[in-house]
Amino acid sequence: MTSAAKAARSLRYLWALPNSALGAMLGIVALACGARARIVDGALEIGGGRLGTLASRLPGSRRFSAITLGHVIVGASDASLDALRSHEHVHVRQYERWGPLFLPLYLGSSLLQLARGRRPYRDNRFERDAYASTVRQPPRARHDGDRAPRHEGG
Ligand SMILES: [Zn+2]
């Protein structure tokens, strides 16, 4: 890697740092509840534990399998992290592009879709981009049968 490429990578991490700090706080709570951490493709993935079990059992629209905050991805389980990796890493790239603007833009996109009578999550611009770029995982990697794993970019 050239020094210019290293500098560009450092700037992406720095630009996403406020969001990564939020992710780290959530990650610390997850780790305290028994989750495990690993680094995959430049992002810190934290999965499992009691917090993950709780997240996957939340009612209806509040249930999720993974959430990405900057360079930190917190998943309900290792299986959900495996199944959602390509989608969540699209969100990591979005944080690298938009930095501190990402969460307000993500929320704004959801509100705009809601105002248009569309689905605030699935029709969110950032989610549409992430779904469009998602590599399909083999069915055995899915942790919850035929129900699509739910995840959040913000
Ligand atoms: Zn997403």
Render pLDDT for 106-135 as a digit per residue (tens, 0 to 9): 999 999 999 999 999 999 999 999 999 876
Q: What is the pLDDT of residues 40-77, one digit of tens each?
A: 999 999 999 998 888 878 877 667 799 999 999 999 99
Is residue 76 a contact partner of residue 64, using CB atoms and an 8 Å limit?
Answer: yes
Q: Kindly give, in sequence order, each residue whose CB lies less than 8 Å from that of residue 118, ignoring residues fewer than 6 positions away.
A: none
Please state the separation of Cα 152 from the chain's center in Å: 5
- Say how many Å lie between the CA of residue 153 and the centre of ligand 1: 5
Amino acid, res. 78:
D
- Say how many Å lie between the CA of residue 2 and the centre of ligand 1: 32
- 48's tokens: 């499992």
Residues with CB under 5 A from ligand 1 (ion): 127, 130, 151, 153
Q: Kindly give, in sequence order, each residue whose CB lies less than 8 Å from that of residue 133, ignoring residues fewer than 6 positions away.
A: 86, 87, 90
- Say how many Å lie between the CA of residue 81 and the centre of ligand 1: 12
Q: Which pTM value belongs to this model?
A: 0.84
Q: What is the pLDDT of residues 77-106, one digit of tens each?
A: 999 999 999 999 999 999 999 999 999 999
